[in-house]
Amino acid sequence: MNRLGADLLVSRAPLGIFLTHEHGDHSAHAAPLSRALKAPLLAHERMPLPWPSVKQYTPGRPLDLGPFLVETLPLPHDAPHVAVRVTAGAHRFALATDLGRPTRDLRAFLGACDLVLLEANYCPSMLESGSYPGHLKRRVAGPLGHLANSQAAELAASLVDTRVSHLVLVHLSRANNTPERAIDCVASKARGLPVEVLPQGVSRFFDVRRNKPRSGPAARAEQLAFGFGWAGENVLRGSRHA
C-alpha cells in the first residue's frame, strides 16, 4: 500500500481493510486478503461476519485510523451498508456504491470531498430488456438496490457547485450498462464537473487534490484489480507524490 497524504503502512503492514457490507462482491475475499497482507479487518457492527479478529466500527461515528479520519454514512441497500469518506490532511475522497436512491445526507457527505467515486450501476432500458430474472430486475431497480444512470446524474448535478472537483463513475453492471451510456447520462447533468468512468477490473490512480488551490503535494486514490473471480471486486488505496 502507498500513501494518501500519509503512510498507509505501519511496520510494513496496512492499517486495515475496511468493509462496507456483507455482499460477496465486496467482502467474499476479505479474509484471505487480510491474512496475505497481515492487515486487520474493520467491519461495522451490523455485519454478520463469521471471521475471527474483526474490529468493529459504528456507522456514522468517525474513526481514527492511524493518520486518517474515516467517516461512514448508512446507505439505503438490502444489506446494512455505508458510504466511506477518507480525510488525510487537506485532502478528502469518498466512495458510494450499492444504494437504491440518493439521499440528502449523502449529497452533503459527498459534497465536502475533492474526489468522489459514485455508483452508476444500470441503464433502465438495458435492465428491462436484459436477461436477468424478474425478481432480480426488481431488486436492482428497487429503493434498496442500485443507482440507475439517471439517479447518479441527479446526484452529480447537486455536486456541481460544491467542493467536488472530480467525479468517477464506478460499479457499472456489465450486463445492464455501458461506460458510454453512463458517461453520456451523467456528464450531461453535471456540466462543469469533470466526470469519467472507471470500468470494472481496471487499476487506476486518481488525483485527490483540489483543483483550487493547487498547492502542496498531490494525493491520489487508486483502484486495484484482483483476480478473485468476483466481478467488480476491488480495493481502494492511496498514494502521495511530491
| DSSP bridge partners of 55 | 42
How far, in Å, are 20, 133, 138, 233 from residue 141 at the CA level?
A: 20, 12, 5, 21
Tally: H helices and E strands in the chain: 7, 15
| Per-residue confidence (pLDDT) for residue 204, from 0 to 100 | 79
On the question of pLDDT at 98 being above 70, the answer is yes
| Per-residue confidence (pLDDT) for residue 237, from 0 to 100 | 33
Q: What is the overall mean pLDDT for the chain?
A: 78
**Considering only 65-69, 129-133, 218-222, which range has the smallest mean pLDDT?**
218-222
SS3 call for 130: coil
CA 108 – CA 113 distance, rounded (Å): 9
**Considering only 134-143, 177-186, 213-222, which range has the smallest mean pLDDT?**
213-222
Pairwise pLDDT comparison (11 vs 193), residue with the higher score:
193
**φ and ψ of 206, to 5 deg:** -135, 135
| Residue 226's pLDDT band (cuts 50, 70, 90) | very low
| Per-residue confidence (pLDDT) for residue 41, from 0 to 100 | 82
| Per-residue confidence (pLDDT) for residue 125, from 0 to 100 | 98
One-letter identity of residue 141: A
Other residues' Cβ atoms within 10 Å of the Cβ of residue 167: 24
| Per-residue confidence (pLDDT) for residue 53, from 0 to 100 | 63
On the question of pLDDT at 168 being above 80, the answer is yes
Cell numbers of 225, please? 484489480
**Considering only 45-59, 93-107, 124-138, which range has the smallest mean pLDDT?**
45-59
CA 122 – CA 147 distance, rounded (Å): 7
Domain architecture of the chain: domains with CATH: 63-241 (3.60.15)
CA 114 – CA 104 distance, rounded (Å): 18
CA 153 – CA 64 distance, rounded (Å): 32
* Total residue length of the chain: 242
Strands 68-74 vs 63-65: parallel, antiparallel or unpaired: antiparallel
Q: What is the mean pLDDT of residues 162-189?
A: 95
| Per-residue confidence (pLDDT) for residue 229, from 0 to 100 | 31
Q: What is the mean pLDDT of residues 202-206?
A: 78
Q: What is the mean pLDDT of residues 127-153?
A: 95
**Considering only 3-7, 204-208, 236-240, which range has the smallest mean pLDDT?**
236-240
Cell 467517516 belongs to residue: 71
CB-based burial label for 212 (10 Å; 0-12, 13-18, 19+): exposed
